[in-house]
Amino acid sequence: MTLFYKLYQPLRSHFYKFNINTYVLSKQSYSAKKIVHLETLITKDDIYEEMKSDLSTVEWKRIREKILQKNTEITPSIVDSIIIDMCVKYFHVNNAIAYFKFLRENNYSLNAGVIGKYLKLYILKQNSLTNADKIEIVETYNDLMQKYQYLDSVTAEECIISLCLTDEWEKTQDIIEMVKITTSPGSAIYSALASAAFRNGKPNIAWKTLTDIVLRKQIPQKNIYLSHLQYCLLENAKFFNNRLEEMFHFWIKHSIIPYDQIIRAYANTAIKYGWSSDRVTISKKTGNCQHCGNFLSKITFSKDEFQKLAKCVMDKVIIGSDIYNKTNPKELLKFKEFIENTKPFDVVIDGLNLTYMNLSAPKLHLLINIVEHFKKRGKKVLVLTRKHQRKLSEFKHIERNAFVFLIDNLSADDPYILYATMACGMNAMFVSSDLMRQHKYSLQNEDLQHKFKKWQFSHQYFIKFSATGMRIQDPFIYLPIVQKSDNCWHVPCVTEDLSKETLKEFYEFSDKWYCFKYNEKKMY
Ligand SMILES: [Zn+2]
Domain co-membership, 314 together with 205: no
Number of neighbouring beta carbons within 10 Å of residue 64? 21
Q: What does the H/E/C string look like for 288-345?
A: ECCCCCCECCECCCCHHHHHHHHHHHHHHHHHCCHHHHHCCHHHHHHHHHHHHHHCCC
198 within some domain: yes
Q: What is the pLDDT of residues 423-476, one digit of tens each?
A: 999 999 999 988 777 777 777 788 888 899 999 999 999 988 777 778 899 999
DSSP 388: G
Mean pLDDT of 175-179: 88
160 plus 308 within the same structural domain = no
The values of phi and psi at residue 480, to 5°, are -90, 10
The residue type found at 56 is: S
The answer to the question of residue 250 being in a domain is no
> Is 124 a member of any domain?
yes
Say yes or no: 317 and 193 in one domain. Answer: no
Q: Is the pLDDT of residue 396 over 50?
A: yes
Based on the domain organization, do 206 and 321 belong to the same domain?
A: no
State the Cα–Cα distance between residues 366 and 354, nearest whole angstrom: 7
45 alpha carbon to ligand 1 midpoint, in Å?
A: 59
Distance of CA 287 to the CA centre of its chain: 27
Q: Give yes or no: residues 310 and 437 share one domain.
A: yes
Judge whether residue 188 has pLDDT over 80.
yes
**Alpha-carbon Rg of the chain, whole angstroms?**
29
Query: Residue 232 Cα, ligand 1 centroid: separation in angstroms?
Result: 22
User: Do residues 197 and 84 both lie within one domain?
Assistant: yes
List the CATH number of the domain containing 144.
1.25.40
On whether residue 48 sits in a domain, the answer given is yes
Torsion of CA 246, 252, 254, 260, to 10 degrees: 90
**Confidence grade of residue 17 (pLDDT, cut at 50, 70, 90):** very low
* Residue that terminates a domain, selected from 213, 229, 253: 213
Residue 452, number of CB atoms within 10 A of its CB:
23
What is the pLDDT of the chain when averaged over all its residues?
A: 84
- Residue 429: helix, strand or coil by DSSP? strand
Q: Structural domain tally of the chain?
A: 2
268 CA from centroid of ligand 1 (Å):
16
H or E, element range at 113: helix 112-124
Is residue 229 in a domain? no
Domain boundary among 473, 495, 518: 473
Residue 270 has pLDDT above 90, yes or no: yes
Answer whether residue 505 is part of any domain. no
Please give the average per-residue pLDDT across 138-155, as a whole number: 89
**Residue range of the domain that includes 90:** 38-213
Q: Which pLDDT score, from 0 to 100, does residue 228 have?
A: 97
Q: How far are the Cα atoms of 213, 317, 373, 380, 391 from residue 402, in angstroms, in the given order?
A: 44, 26, 11, 7, 17
Predicted confidence (pLDDT) per residue in 313-363, tens digit: 888 777 765 656 666 778 888 888 999 999 999 999 998 887 777 666 667
* b/e map 424-449, b = 16+ CB within 10 Å: bebebbbbbbbebeebbebbeeeebb
On whether both 322 and 441 belong to a single domain, the answer is: yes
Q: Identify the top-confidence range among 359-368, 373-382, 411-420, 491-500.
A: 373-382
Q: Does 316 share its domain with 209? A: no
Whether the pLDDT of residue 6 is over 50: the answer is: no
- Domain-embedded: residue 495: no
Neighbours of ion ligand 1 (CB under 5 A): 289, 291-292, 488, 515
The mean-pLDDT minimum among 28-42, 58-72, 224-238, 314-328 falls in 28-42
Report yes or no on 12 lying in a domain. Answer: no
80, 191: one domain: yes
Dump strand ranges (E) for 202-281: 275-281
516 C-alpha to ligand 1 centroid (Å): 7
Co-location of 45 and 191 in the same domain: yes
According to DSSP, residue 206 is labeled H
Q: Can you give the pLDDT at residue 164? A: 97
User: What CATH number has the domain bearing residue 454?
Assistant: 3.40.50.11980
pLDDT for 70 = 82
Examine the domain organization and report whether 163 and 312 are in the same domain: no
How many A from CA of 260 to the centre of ligand 1? 16
- CA-to-CA distance for 513 and 494, rounded, in angstroms? 9
What pLDDT does residue 315 have? 82
Classified as helix, coil or strand, 275 is strand
159 vs 120: CA distance, rounded Å: 8
How much distance in Å is there from the Cα of 435 to the middle of ligand 1?
29
Q: The pTM is what?
A: 0.81
**Ligand 1 center to residue 278 CA distance, Å?**
8
Residue at which a domain ends, from 213, 233, 249: 213
56 vs 409, residue with greater confidence: 56
298, 458 Cβ separation under 8 angstroms: no
* DSSP state letter for 273: G
Average pLDDT over residues 196-215: 96
Same domain, 197 and 315: no
Q: How confident is the model at residue 5 (pLDDT cuts 50, 70, 90)?
A: very low
